[in-house]
Structure 1
């Protein structure tokens, strides 16, 4: 049965059109039961987890605690966004939606999501910088389930052979000096992903923000300095030309070969790191003048979509509260290789695994891509940014020329 969304919560036509263009499959979610108890639907971006997984077991346990049956469906991240928009337009939204944090502003603007104030979700213990990724115009649209971000993995043996003490790598000059030593020892320096997609922007942002640049001024001197750092590394042979086409996966594969001293990558590679044939370590990405650079946050938010029957919100709130309680966060974030969004749980993670300390520090310094009230403007800035990175690294333009063009494009797209 098709249901309309309450007045004031209609799906934006442009956003819906984009979703329809991206997928030819219409959403066919069944209308949830409104009887006491009944079935509550949960959509998540974890299709890799099967019915017998700990994650699905947790969902079902939370349903049992709330006195309902949970019906869960896992989708690919991009597919999930499209289906969420279509379901909202049809009035068949799930009761609980777990969604990649940059998508929150898009769904909020489209009127798909409730605010935490509307559904009485408590976010007071959440780290403010992580919560910011789910906020738009002063309102919060969900609870972070966890976060991942970027840091630098390094090859201990290779650095030792090159005479590099990793403790001295604290800013851009000292990192570049380490790369010079590595090259002099006949080895390769650093690999990362600069591909012309969101992955490229994601990996460039720690250097961009670490220089003091802002996404509203792509051609400012700090931004130019960040892109110049990368182009200089390629010109000097400290980074391979393959970074232009590298995804984060192929970049990791280069590092795993044992030929590179450093690799910019994320917490999601920890399981693969344990399989390396050499000893590795991890340090935060250094800011230009020292300290930890702000890296972008990855990870999902648990949100409650708008429902015609607002009486369902109380049970949905119970489900979200259960999923984000301290004990459950610890289990879930371990499973997902996430850092918890709550300081007390972060401390438990480090107590259980001291190697996570560097990731906790990186997450504490991280920031949301849609933060600073950028919201749905972020994608229209990110694409010109990754295009500029591609243009400069390929030698088609200087960093200044590439970023000036990017700023003109972004300003036009967001005005």
Structure 2
């Protein structure tokens, strides 16, 4: 969900609520879809930080060469990309391929501008079901994940050692709470996370929400209240700082890098940064309330294929997509970005053969869940806004967790019209 500067992140949904991968604000130079020749295929992605000389650009170009065509690549930030895609679809000059932040797939599919993978014969059965679900709408698959990132709890090993906490003992909420109390008793700061009033706040709350057994179709369930009461109690009791209310995932990470916090909830994209921290680090999976690993939300982009008037183009487009998503291709993408876990079992085994230390993240991705899964589609951003609003109200003391979630359920129900 984050790419270094990552996520602070209806067509309004695409412009703000789910901008989970913003990296810049202006499009990079690239091809013009309206003037693409028969030998050129147009490609849009949300990586303006990777210019034409980057390893990523070469990765894309190599798949074009393998398919026998030239790739004309244009890069936008996530917000601009989705808006440009919707506009291009309306004007009938959409590119051949678009890489989209996964929650945006259902928005474009619902608008009728994406081609289902089955319509040009692309087999999606090898992709992990929990990951590809974010690209599904009404029984059809409209995109395939080039990889995934997700959340876990990073820890400061020195603080845990000094407090007598074994990270391996954290198996459920009770054992996590016990660990946090030990850290506080040792005079250190236990945990920080991002509860900001944006999609990032929902993204970080979802593991606890789902880990309690709650469902996004009922925000005020007893399980949902339990999850919000957990976060509320941490802030009230000084286990987490008041800054979490305004923390983005980046500011949360900056807090952790000070070396003052035992735990920080953050994502795969911080792997390299954690290795360079001035103290030893590790990760544990976010526990479910009663034990086991909580489902965490998936971040990452999907390859999608906009509807084309000339359907013969799909034959070559299919070759480009297949090149990008072979086991070797998924590993190359994952290592290019340094934080992407491949979206197939073969790809995961291949990346572990190169980077055995990624196993905890592979495990986390295997149990992760798409935010638009359960066929929520374009309803998700409206539900998410209601959810992060409830989190803000509860943590600020403006309402109790139960009251805040009751209001959230009413807000979501009104927003989606049922």
**TM-score relative to the length of structure 2:** 0.92
Aligned 8 A contact 1:29 1:92 in 2: no
Equivalent residue for 1:372, pick from 371, 374, 381: 374
Aligned 8 A contact 1:16 1:85 in 2: no
Aligned 8 A contact 1:62 1:323 in 2: yes
Distance in 2 (CA, whole Å) between partners of 1:362 and 1:66 is 34
Distance in 2 (CA, whole Å) between partners of 1:80 and 1:184 is 48
Query: Per the alignment, in what secondary structure is the counterpart of residue 66 of structure 2?
Result: helix
Task: Give the Å deviation of 1:15.
Answer: 3.5
Distance in 1 (CA, whole Å) between partners of 2:143 and 2:243 is 38
Give runs of aligned pairs for residues 122-271 of structure 1, distance below 5 A: 122-271=123-272
Q: How many residues align?
A: 397
Task: Give the structure 1 partner of residue 100 of structure 2.
Answer: 99
Distance in 1 (CA, whole Å) between partners of 2:13 and 2:348 is 40
Task: Give the structure 1 partner of residue 388 of structure 2.
Answer: 386
Task: Give the structure 2 partner of residue 9 of structure 1.
Answer: none
RMSD value, Cα: 1.9
Distance in 1 (CA, whole Å) between partners of 2:377 and 2:141 is 12
Distance in 1 (CA, whole Å) between partners of 2:399 and 2:381 is 22
Aligned 8 A contact 1:133 1:370 in 2: yes
Q: Does the alignment pair 1:358 with 2:393?
A: no
Task: Give the structure 1 partner of residue 61 of structure 2.
Answer: 60
Query: Per the alignment, in what secondary structure is the counterpart of residue 310 of structure 1?
Result: coil
Task: Give the structure 2 partner of residue 31 of structure 1.
Answer: 34
Distance in 2 (CA, whole Å) between partners of 1:84 and 1:243 is 34
Aligned 8 A contact 1:29 1:87 in 2: no
Return closer, same or farther for 1:298/1:153 CA change in 2, 3 Å cut-off.
same
Return closer, same or farther for 1:28/1:111 CA change in 2, 3 Å cut-off.
farther
* Structure 1 unaligned blocks of 5 or more: 1-13
Task: Give the structure 2 partner of residue 295 of structure 1.
Answer: 296
Q: Which has the larger radius of gyration?
A: 1
Aligned 8 A contact 1:32 1:40 in 2: no
Task: Give the Å deviation of 1:351.
Answer: 2.2
Task: Give the Å deviation of 1:18.
Answer: 8.1
- Comparing 326-335 with 345-354, greater Cα deviation is found at 345-354
Task: Give the Å deviation of 1:285.
Answer: 0.3
Distance in 1 (CA, whole Å) between partners of 2:239 and 2:212 is 20
Distance in 1 (CA, whole Å) between partners of 2:381 and 2:413 is 12
Deviating runs (4+, > 6 A) in structure 1?
16-19, 22-25
